């Protein structure tokens, strides 16, 4: 009985703590994304990174640490998209595609973007 109560207590604690842990994790993700933004902007201006139609960055030409930065950004975006999908009853793919449209609309001139049909173009 004590073991059962202990397991129940741990499960209850995890249920209660989970949203707080998720909030802290999301705060860390958002902080990393903000910190990474200047490097991403420079890589976009250089044409090394573009924004695809699924809401993720994509390396368009090898340049320094473009691949590493793109990969880190995409991992964090995946976490954010999954959280938004969970809150809205949507899917990560739908969230990413909606975000891709927002990114395209707000991008600076010269940024490489991928249209919904898959064609790359420079804004």
Tens of pLDDT along 4-32? 344 444 444 444 444 544 666 888 999 99
The boundaries of the domain holding residue 14 are 2-122
Indicate the number of domains in the chain: 1
Q: What is the mean pLDDT of residues 75-87?
A: 92
Q: Is residue 113 within a helix (H) or strand (E), and if so which, with residue range?
A: strand 112-114
**pLDDT of 66 strictly over 70:** yes
What pLDDT does residue 77 have?
A: 95
pTM higher than the cut 0.85: no
**pLDDT of 111 strictly over 80:** yes
**pLDDT of 54 strictly over 90:** yes
Q: What is the mean pLDDT of residues 75-104?
A: 94
Query: Could you report the per-residue pLDDT of 29-39, keeping only the tens digit for each?
Result: 999 999 999 99
Q: Cα–Cα distances in Å, from 88 out to 16, 83, 91, 92, 94?
A: 21, 9, 8, 10, 11
What pLDDT does residue 58 have?
A: 97
Percent of the chain with pLDDT over 70: 80
**pLDDT of 117 strictly over 90:** yes
Burial (Cβ within 10 Å: 0-12, 13-18, ≥19) of residue 56: buried
């Amino acid at each position: 009985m004590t073991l059962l109560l202990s397991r129940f207590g741990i499960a209850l604690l995890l249920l209660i703590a989970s949203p707080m842990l998720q909030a802290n994790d999301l705060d860390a993700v958002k902080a990393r994304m903000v910190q990474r933004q200047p490097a991403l902007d420079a890589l976009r201006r250089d044409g090394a990174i573009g924004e695809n139609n699924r809401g993720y960055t994509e390396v368009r030409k090898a340049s320094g640490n473009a691949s590493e930065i793109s990969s880190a950004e995409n991992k964090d975006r995946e976490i954010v998209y999954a959280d938004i999908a969970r809150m809205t009853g949507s899917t990560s793919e739908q969230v990413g595609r909606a975000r891709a449209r927002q990114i395209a609309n707000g991008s600076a001139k010269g940024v490489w973007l991928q249209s919904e049909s898959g064609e790359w173009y420079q804004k």
